[in-house]
Structure 1
Amino acid sequence: MLIRDFRKEDIDSILELFHHTVHSVAAKYYSAEQLQAWAPPIDSIDKEKWLNSLNEGVTFVAERNQDIIGFIQMTPSGYIDRMFVAKSQQGSGAARLLWKKLEAKARILGIEELTAELSIMAKPLAERQGFRVIRKQEKLHNGSVFINYVMSKKL
């Protein structure tokens, strides 16, 4: 498995991975309406907006056999905006390696604390990586209400 920097040519694979992961892995936690709000059809996703966002801070991808199997994104302030691993790679260690690479980069950048608003499905993984829950919240996204967790980790 290779963890590397995001490249703009990764965008289509990342959007497919995001959409498929939300609709497969998250399906046991969220309603069909919530899944559609979170990950609408790929052709309706603003690719340029995602590309700009992924390029704004630090984004790493996990690759296996030249296929992108996961990615993690952090803003310049240390906010983890996105982290997804393909359903077929759940439990492979990809998420842990992505977290570790991102934490190492954050330390190099002088970031003292990582923060995130994490889904029900991501919360246990974040806790295993040393994050703590600040608060549980309800968040409106594309017309649907989601429960998520504001979490942080001191570096």
Structure 2
Amino acid sequence: MSIRDFRPGDEAALRDVFFTAVHGLASRHYNPAQVTAWAPVHYDALAWAARLQANRPFVAEIDGQAAGFADLQDSGYIDQFFVAAAFAGRGVGQALMAHILASAGQRRIGVVWANVSLRAEAFFAHHGFAVERRQVVQRRGVRLRNARMTLRIDP
């Protein structure tokens, strides 16, 4: 497995990672309407590309195939953290989290935080994140529960 920076041209592969993560993994914690609202089949490819270009995610690859991706903003916010369903349980999330936390240290980011799905909450807790608050968000008019989780990094 390797982790690299996002490159233009990654958009479609990362959309597949996102889609399979939500439909194949998070669907165990959310109902079909919630999953469809979160990751619809039809999407705005230009808006997706713009979001990825703005977020500059790290991309985990196995045998040249995108297996997961995650970003870390200068504010410490993790906007996107997804592992493709086909690669679940193979250490992709662990590798991405280690990369994010190392990047936070190098960039002197003292607090890392994310709005974490029910599916990912235990994973983030395992890495030392604590629930700051529970929240309900809307995606395309459908309500989904998640948690704001925070990790304070020692200087």
In the superposition, the TM-score normalised over structure 1's length comes to 0.93
**1:60-75, aligned counterparts within 5 Å?**
60-75=58-73
**Equivalence for 1:37:** 37
Identity of aligned residues (%): 33
3-state SS of 2:151 partner: strand
* Residue from 111, 120, 123 that aligns with 2:121: 123
**Equivalence for 2:26:** 26
Give a deviation string over 1:54-84, Cα, whole Å, max 9, x none.
2224410110110001000222211111111
Measured after TM superposition, the shift of residue 138 of structure 1 is 1.3
- Determine the C-alpha separation between the residues in 2 that align with 1:12 and 1:122: 23
- Determine the C-alpha separation between the residues in 2 that align with 1:74 and 1:47: 22
Gaps of 5+ in 1: none
- Determine the C-alpha separation between the residues in 2 that align with 1:76 and 1:142: 28
- Determine the C-alpha separation between the residues in 2 that align with 1:58 and 1:135: 27
Measured after TM superposition, the shift of residue 118 of structure 1 is 0.4
3-state SS of 1:100 partner: helix
How many residues are treated as equivalent by the alignment?
A: 153
Measured after TM superposition, the shift of residue 109 of structure 1 is 1.7
Mean Cα displacement is larger for which, 48-57 or 66-75?
48-57
What is the aligned-residue RMSD (CA, Å)? 1.2
Measured after TM superposition, the shift of residue 148 of structure 1 is 0.3
**1:1-155, aligned counterparts within 5 Å?**
1-41=1-41, 44-155=42-153
Mean Cα displacement is larger for which, 46-55 or 107-116?
46-55
3-state SS of 1:55 partner: helix
- Determine the C-alpha separation between the residues in 1 that align with 2:18 and 2:138: 19
Contact 2:11-2:49 within 8 A present in 1 as well: yes
